[in-house]
A = this chain, B = another copy of it.
């Protein structure tokens, strides 16, 4: 009996996790695994690119978690520089840029994401960069090394703020151009205002409420300015920080069902809703919100690897399902840490909740302990049940990772009162007697009680 054939399209977090997990569960004589990757590397950390650009991480190769050779040792045949050009779902084949055709019994689509691009002229100018592939990082580093002095970052989400921060730290004059009134629209406006102020205090220029109209280039096709209705911002470098959309060209052309978010529609085992022999995972796939059950698209390495593992488990014969996302995220800009999880107030209201919000000010350590920094915690809960729905944290070093405590409480379905009673750690170098996240819950639960 010949082995079943698994083909994985895309060799980053989701694809390689699927391949590795399937291999763990089924040997090479039972399952042949081929990974087709268009780029030169597999398993690199896209999230690390800003820090490489910022010279915080000096060596590009440190961003590469595992090499094709390492996977080969597990009998996973990784083909880099091999782009999947077409999937024939009826025939069960993938045609590649190398002129080969790979037959499959099971297919994993893990084509990842692509930087969102505003619909404006000039984006093809030289000097406009996404933050996606390692090559993007190399290009931006080269631009800085070549003397770039002014950068415009389009968008104020995580990638946008991280890029603005590292380019500013490298000495460039940085302007963030926002279509929205505030950066970090995943947080409520009151928290976004704190972030906006902190960015300004760093010396980064923020231009809100200005959808970009055009990227202007000089006669050589090199970017020279970003134009909005309010002004024109000279620059020699433009970074796309508008987030990542799903890369579904291959899947769409093949006829796989695409969901309302524009990503491949899958069930909770990561299986395509239109073609049960096909799985999708990672940034190209649609997922669902843990609290609302609604379809969402969240491009993040943690979900990608988990979803890949779920697909690999199911292909490997073990029951598994992806348990949803809360939209937990964390970043820092200068010394300011920013975390969020669950629903913000507007999302909670849209989901039909009678929304209660509580915002408290605390410190990262006991107030008398050196290095204690201010931190703000905002909790979103349901007024009727007390159920915790979301949390947002903005504060100094040590503040941000506390978002995991809120994410866990929300994941578990705790009410504010149940969480307020929890036994969190206390020691002066680490927190006040009552951790700010617990204080926020106590205030929310006291309010519950009237």
Interface residues of A (CB under 8 A from B): 13, 45, 47-48, 51, 56-57, 59, 62-63, 158, 290, 300-303, 305-306, 318, 322-332, 337, 339, 341, 366-370, 398, 400-405, 407-409, 411-414, 418-419, 421-431, 433-435, 437, 449
**Alpha-carbon distance between A404 and B407 when the two chains are bound, in angstroms:** 11
A398 neighbours in B (Cβ, 8 Å): 401
Complex: A59 Cα to B367 Cα, angstroms: 12
With A402-B404, A426-B302 known as contacts, the answer to whether A323 contacts B421 (CB < 8 A) is yes
Report the Cα distance A366→B56, complex, angstroms.
12
Contact B370–A56 (Cβ < 8 Å): yes
A327 to B422: give the CA distance in the assembly, Å.
11
> How many copies of this chain does the complex contain?
2
Q: In the complex, which of the residues A323, A398, A403, A425 has the most CB atoms of chain B within 10 Å of its own CB atom?
A: A425
User: Is the Cβ of A328 less than 8 Å from the Cβ of B368?
Assistant: no
B57, A424: Cβ atoms closer than 8 Å: no
Given A51-B369, A302-B433, A422-B408, decide whether A332 and B401 contact each other with a Cβ distance below 8 A: no
B411 near A413 (CB under 8 angstroms)?
Answer: no
B302 contacts A427, CB within 8 Å? no
Min C-beta distance of A194 to chain B, whole Å: 18
- Smallest CB gap from A57: residue in B: B368
Contacts A57-B368, A368-B57, A408-B409 hold; do A400 and B425 have CB atoms under 8 A apart? yes
Chain B residue at minimal CB-CB distance from A398: B401
Shortest distance in angstroms between A299's beta carbon and chain B's nearest beta carbon? 12
* B residues in contact with A437, CB < 8 Å: 404
Q: Nearest 10 CB-CB pairs, A to B? A: A412-B412, A323-B421, A330-B425, A62-B368, A326-B423, A411-B422, A408-B408, A328-B423, A330-B427, A302-B426
Contact assessment for B423 and A57 in the assembled complex, using a CB-CB cutoff below 8 Å: no
Contact between A428 and B369, CB atoms less than 8 A apart? no
Residue of B nearest to A56 (CB): B370
Closest beta carbon of chain B to A163's beta carbon, Å = 13
How far does the alpha carbon of A404 sit from the alpha carbon of B425 in the complex, in Å?
6
Q: In the bound complex, do residue A425 and residue B403 qualify as a contact, i.e. CB atoms below 8 Å apart?
A: yes
Contact: A429 with B369, CB < 8 Å?
no
Structural contact, A401 and B290, CB atoms closer than 8 A: no
Contact B426 A47 (CB under 8 A): yes
Contact in complex: A368, B408 (CB < 8 Å): no
Contact partners of A318 in chain B: CB under 8 A: 449
Residues of B within 8 A of A366 (CB): 45, 47-48
Once the chains bind, are B301 and A433 in contact (CB under 8 Å)? yes
Q: Given the complex of chains A and B, what is the CA–CA distance between A369 and B52 in angstroms?
A: 9
Please tell me if the beta carbons of A408 and B419 are within 8 angstroms of each other in the complex: yes
Judge whether B369 and A306 touch: CB under 8 Å: no
